Amino acid sequence: MSQLFLRRVVAVWFAAIYALIGLPLWYKLTTIYRAPLPGEYVSSLRENMHADVHVVVPVYVRSDTYKFPDIHRAIQAQADALLRSKPSTIDWSLQVMPAEKNQTLDLESDYVLTLVLDDFTGYAIPYDSKETVVFFDDTAVLSNDVPFFAAQTLIEHTFAAEWTHFSGSTSVQDENTLDIDSEMVISYSPTMHLSLSLLTGDGRPVAWDIESTLNQYFTPLRRFLSPLVNFTVDTSILPFNDLNLGSLHDVQDPSWQDLAHSVDLSELSSINHYREKNVVNLAIVFPSPEAGQLAFINATQDRPWQSFMVPQWGALVVNKEALPDNARITQDYLAPVIYSFACELFQFLGLSSEKADLSTPYTTIDSFKRIMTLKNLEQGVETLWSLVKLTNQFPQMSVPKRVLADVERAVELRLQAVELINDPKQGNEAIWNEALRLSNDFVQVCERAFFHKEMVQQNFFPQEHKIAVYLPLLGPISVIIFTGLIKALREKHGDDAEDHLNGKKSLKFDSDKPLQSEDTS
């Protein structure tokens, strides 16, 4: 094997290792990892939003006076026809079932339709249950109108919120107390913080029986709402802070602008201190004695305060008079405040509105659960779609494996929630609570995927910087390997032979040298 051949082989090997191992390795180690997200699936979910959802709510029918053996089928047919009359954004229907003789129905958990013979036709929905009572007379029975009355009552009154939100009906706006798009509403979150503050315009000592009041009146409400929202509560007393209301003490009828421009809520807007995403505030404000009476407060003999609402923030209970010395605010004062705040809290949650009070809490809360569950599903899919869209838009953005795992988990959660919603045999309160919980988890996992820490786009790391980092390392290696390869390939055999001879000569010459030196020595 000639030396030239050997040199060429070595140079080719170096170049081959550089190209076949070095380059792929470098590429592999420096490539931004992008996990393959299920883009097409997410895209189809978004395009056919709620295509696989069909909300089914079971309703049990019972009749006290007459026995109608097939009334449930007739009501079912009427209800289906009524629902079909409007194009719905989300498929939904009622599953009308007869109440068996020995079946125990929980009126707080199951929807029950009770048919009662009376002198007139009408309906009633009790305040403290999910029962719908339809009154009918003999004429209605003769003309076979009972099924239609029952179906209409159920859809347009008991399920007014679904009728509005899912079927887009505007005919029952007054019945529908849910106003989730109102300016007042704090965006829904399964956990919420309630911050209660007592503000006084001066620094004189003050005490309040807030703990006992909350334990007695608010804790049951908190428990009542716990399937929907979990509240954490804190209380505080802030002296020397009347929210600058003292500046309005002589104004008789301030406009909302006057109030908005004077009231300073900045000290109470400390959302950062709580772990929960959303905070609702209740501030009870007493002016300082120096500021005197607040003329614009429309107080009565029983009620020394007036309540104001700040959209997406909370309620202000403003007192007309300043507190006396060494005051202790008792439960007698605080209980009505809590009662009033409870009504406002329902407005902040979107469960009631300014124009419609909460007249049927059980059915409204249940409808709210259904609507929020579907809104959550929609929101989560939108987040997933945004994620997929952005990863396609920014090729430099890394997509870690954790994001893929979260997306897969999210899709799984969605399917679980949809399965619960679609099942006609399951429709009691516990199932809707579970569906809402799953949909909340779905939103949370989608958000976690979207806001993953490592997905900060690498575009702000300019290409010049990459060259500046790699060039000092790769430049010299590349130059040596490739110029060496070119040199080896350009050398000819003649040169090699000549070199060989020269080599021999030089060897001979070199070998002579020591001899000469020996001689001289």
Residues numbered 80-139 forming contacts with another protein, rule: CB under 8 A: 108, 127-128
d(CA 186, CA 350): 8
Cβ-based nearer residue to another protein, 82 or 388: 388
- 327 has which bridge partners? 206
d(CA 284, CA 197): 6
Q: Cα angle vertex 269, ends 265, 273, to 5°?
A: 155
Cβ-based nearer residue to another protein, 268 or 371: 268
Q: Scan for tokens 């804790």, then name that residue.
A: 219
Among 35, 105, 141, 265, binds another protein (CB under 8 A): 265
Burial 90-99 (b: 16+ CB within 10 A, else e): bbbbbbbbbb
Q: What is the phi-psi region of residue 331: left when phi exceeds 0, alpha when psi lies from -120 to 50, beta otherwise? A: alpha
Q: How far is the CB of 328 from another protein (least distance, A)?
A: 19
Cβ-based nearer residue to another protein, 325 or 464: 464
Q: How far is the CB of 506 from another protein (least distance, A)?
A: 56
Count of chain residues binding another protein (CB under 8 A): 71
Query: Which residues within the stretch 355-384 sit at the binding site for another protein (CB under 8 A)?
Result: 357-358, 361, 383
Residue 181 binds to another protein (criterion: CB under 8 A): no
Among 104, 256, 519, 521, binds another protein (CB under 8 A): 256
C-alpha torsion sign, points 371, 376, 378, 379: positive
d(CA 132, CA 479): 87
Among 8, 54, 375, 389, binds another protein (CB under 8 A): 389
Query: Which residues within the stretch 320-359 sit at the binding site for another protein (CB under 8 A)?
Result: 335-336, 338-340, 342-344, 346, 354, 357-358
Q: How far is the CB of 219 from another protein (least distance, A)?
A: 8
Cβ-based nearer residue to another protein, 293 or 457: 457
Nearest to 411 by CA among 17, 38, 26, 85: 38
Single out the segment in contact with another protein by CB under 8 A; choices: 79-87, 170-178, 370-378, 453-461. Answer: 453-461
Residue 60 binds to another protein (criterion: CB under 8 A): no
Among 82, 146, 198, 259, binds another protein (CB under 8 A): 259
d(CA 36, CA 403): 10
Single out the segment in contact with another protein by CB under 8 A; choices: 229-237, 267-275, 416-424, 498-506. Answer: 267-275
Q: How far is the CB of 120 from another protein (least distance, A)?
A: 23
d(CA 51, CA 43): 13
C-alpha torsion sign, points 438, 444, 449, 454: negative
d(CA 449, CA 410): 9
**Residues 491-520, mask of contacts with another protein (x by CB under 8 A):** ------------------------------
Report the 3 state secondary structure along 283-337: EEEECCCCCCCCCCCCCCCCCCEEEEEECCCEEEEEECCCCCCCEEECHHHHHHH
Among 316, 349, 371, 435, binds another protein (CB under 8 A): 316
Residue 394 binds to another protein (criterion: CB under 8 A): yes
Q: How far is C-alpha 154 from the geometric centre of its chain's CA atoms?
A: 30
- For residue 193, the SS3 value is strand
Cβ-based nearer residue to another protein, 154 or 349: 349
Residues 298 and 209 sit within 8 Å (Cβ to Cβ): no
Cβ-based nearer residue to another protein, 426 or 457: 457
Q: How far is the CB of 183 from another protein (least distance, A)?
A: 7
Among 102, 170, 252, 393, binds another protein (CB under 8 A): 393
Q: How far is the CB of 141 from another protein (least distance, A)?
A: 32
Please report the beta strands in 23-108, taking only residues with DSSP state E, as ranges in sequence order. 54-63, 91-98
Cβ-based nearer residue to another protein, 300 or 511: 300
Residues 6+ apart with CB under 8 A from 59: 94, 95, 96, 97, 111, 112, 113, 154
**Residues 398-437, mask of contacts with another protein (x by CB under 8 A):** ----------------------------------------
Q: Which helix (H) or strand (E) holds 392?
A: helix 361-393
Sequence letter at residue 123: Y
Residue 238 binds to another protein (criterion: CB under 8 A): no
Sequence letter at residue 200: T
Residue 457 binds to another protein (criterion: CB under 8 A): yes
Cβ-based nearer residue to another protein, 185 or 488: 185
Cβ-based nearer residue to another protein, 212 or 506: 212
Residues 6+ apart with CB under 8 A from 330: 209
**Residues 20-59, mask of contacts with another protein (x by CB under 8 A):** ----------------------------------------
d(CA 421, CA 366): 13
Nearest to 388 by CA among 412, 413, 373, 410: 410
Q: How far is the CB of 342 from another protein (least distance, A)?
A: 5
**Residues 294-313, mask of contacts with another protein (x by CB under 8 A):** ------x-xx--xxxxxxxx
- 197 has which bridge partners? 236, 283
